[in-house]
Structure 1
Amino acid sequence: MTETASPGIRLAIVDDHRMLLAALTEWMKGAADDITLVAAVASWTDLLAHPEFPVDAVLLDLDLKDDLPVSVKLRALDTAGVATVVMSTYSDPAVVREALAAGAKGYLVKSEGAETIVLAVRAAVCGERFVSPKLAAQLDAVAGMPELSLRERQVMALYSSGESAKRIAAALRITEHTAKSDLKRIRSKYREAGIDISAKVAMRTQAIADGLIIDVDRPSSPASSPEELRG
């Protein structure tokens, strides 16, 4: 597919929020002459089992509540020749970068309208990256910041919220030694970027600045919930 308006782009939507799935379905019906919505399902397994799969493009909810990492889903879709645009309420630049690195062709916040979704789908099918305009500036702003892995962001958020290495290990299903090693590596990455977070209060301040937690008492950002980030 090499034309942005190639007729017959077969689109699927995967989102486990039923009301949003219904709204997206209505938005995309007739939103563009070159895009046909052929599937709207609430789970990863429903997508794979759908008679229209593989489709040309998928709008994939980043936060499907299952035990399969989104990176695995993205690689599977890429192998099947499906162009994927990730949708999420999360705007953490690190999350966006990781999704794109794992194979997503686009990343949209869920507040985008049908017109922007159409642009993202067309770009994805053409092999071009598309990021919500409201996120693009954030990505540029943090270009010089250290890149943390998904688990490192989880560890930093939990530790900055007052959890011990032992409790972090239990929450993330890793060993306490691994949790401590992650903390050491996190501090090293920030030190290389010229930021000292050796003190716990400094790490907490940085976690707030990076959007990993929204206050010092209650971790409610995407990276502070292992269950949400796991899928």
Structure 2
Amino acid sequence: MPDPASQIRIAIVDDHRMLLDALTDWIRNAADDVDLVAAVPSWSELVAHPDFPVDVVLLDLDLKDNIPIALKLSMLKSAGVSTTLISTYSEPVVVREALNAGALGYVPKSEPVETIIEAIRAARDGQVFITPELAETLRQTGDAPKLSAQERRVMALYGAGQPVKAVAFQLGISEETAKSYLKRIREKYRLAGFDVGTKVALRKRAIADGILLQSD
């Protein structure tokens, strides 16, 4: 008989009923140290559940409820709950954004239940878990995005501290065109898994990628 004090209390949230039922059965039969106390199809049912908060939530990334995943992760963290995300998506940008938002694990739904159990145990211990295949994909796609020559010029000038108006003047383009270049640069970096939303972050990235020389 497992010691209740050593068990990991978990909840599953997935709005695909068949998968929710299957996960429930699989996990209940997969590990003695995992206690599945809730399996619900919606976020609202999770937070209203009498056994919430739990130790770990296995959360479907793509619940159709229009609540940003970053907000859910923040709320769970505030409640002392660790989160492992499950999803049909395994694109690097999706995985990076989820981990950056505070998820401790990311498991594609195609993985066997043993992998999910590993992720649950890692989350209980405060450790990040992704599959070796995902880790390799992230490693291979962690390079800087390809920028055009003009995009590199805009990034260098703006990263060096020039206001948009001055960047436009020096390059002989309109201010609106300079802004559109910056928007495109930020989107390319976002898709590569890098946040350059602020001028400081963009400057740091420009230095790291050799677009801008660091001044003394």
Q: Measured at CA, do residues 76 and 182 of structure 1 come closer, stay the same or move farther in structure 2, by a change above 3 Å?
A: farther
The Cα of 1:181 is off from its aligned counterpart by: 9.3
Output the amino acid matched with 2:85.
Answer: V
Runs of 4+ deviating beyond 3 Å:
180-186, 189-192
1:67 aligns to 2:66 (yes or no): yes
Q: What residue identity is the alignment partner of 1:43? A: S
Contact 1:14–1:47 (Cα < 8 Å) also in 2: yes
Correspondence for 2:75: 76
Equivalent residue runs for 1:183-194 within 5 Å: 184-189=181-186
Matches of 1:64 and 1:191, distance apart in 2: 26
Distance of 2:43 and 2:13 partners within structure 1 = 7
Partner of 2:201: none
Aligned position for 2:97: 98
**Bigger Rg, which one:** 2
- CA contact under 8 A between 1:7 and 1:33: conserved in structure 2? no
Give the letter aligned to residue 38 of structure 1: V
| Cα distance change of structure 1 residues 181 and 117 upon mapping to structure 2, 3 Å threshold | farther
- CA distance in 1: counterparts of 2:97 and 2:139, whole angstroms: 15
Structure 2: give runs of 5+ residues left out of the alignment.
146-176, 193-216
Aligned to 2:135: 136
Residue number in structure 2 paired with 1:87: 86
2:17 aligned partner, one-letter code: R
User: What residue is the counterpart of 1:51 in the other structure?
Assistant: 50
- 1:187-202 matched pairs, under 5 angstroms: 187-189=184-186
Which residues of 2 match residues 169-184 of structure 1 at below 5 A?
184=181
1:17 deviation in Å? 0.5
- Alignment-mate amino acid for residue 12 of structure 1: A
Report the Cα offset of residue 182 of structure 1: 8.7
Q: CA 1:29–1:190 in structure 2 vs 1: closer, same or farther (change >3 Å)?
A: closer
Aligned partners of 1:84, 1:22: CA distance in 2, in Å?
A: 20
Q: Equivalent pairs: percent with the same residue?
A: 55
Residues 87 and 190 of structure 1: CA distance in aligned 2, closer, same or farther (over 3 Å): closer
Deviation at 1:134, TM superposition (A): 2.1
1:28 partner letter:
I
CA contact (8 A) 1:15 1:43 kept: yes
Amino acid at match of 2:140: A
- When residues 182 and 107 of structure 1 are mapped into structure 2, their CA distance, relative to the original with a 3 A threshold, is farther
Bigger RCO (CA 8 Å, 6+ sep): 1
Mapped partners of 2:13, 2:65: distance in 1: 13
CA-atom RMSD, angstroms? 2.5
Over residues 125-164 of structure 1, what are the superposed CA-to-partner deviations in whole Å (9 max), with x where a residue is unaligned?
1010001222111100111134xxxxxxxxxxxxxxxxxx
Provide the rounded CA distance (Å) in 1 between the counterparts of 2:144 and 2:25: 39
Q: How many aligned positions are there? A: 157
What is the CA distance between 1:183 and its match in structure 2? Answer: 5.8
Q: For residue 77 of structure 1, report the CA deviation from its aligned partner.
A: 0.4
CA distances 1:67-116 after superposition (whole Å, capped 9, x unpaired) = 11001000100111101000101111111111111110000000111111
* Gap runs ≥5 in structure 1: 1-5, 147-179, 193-206, 211-231
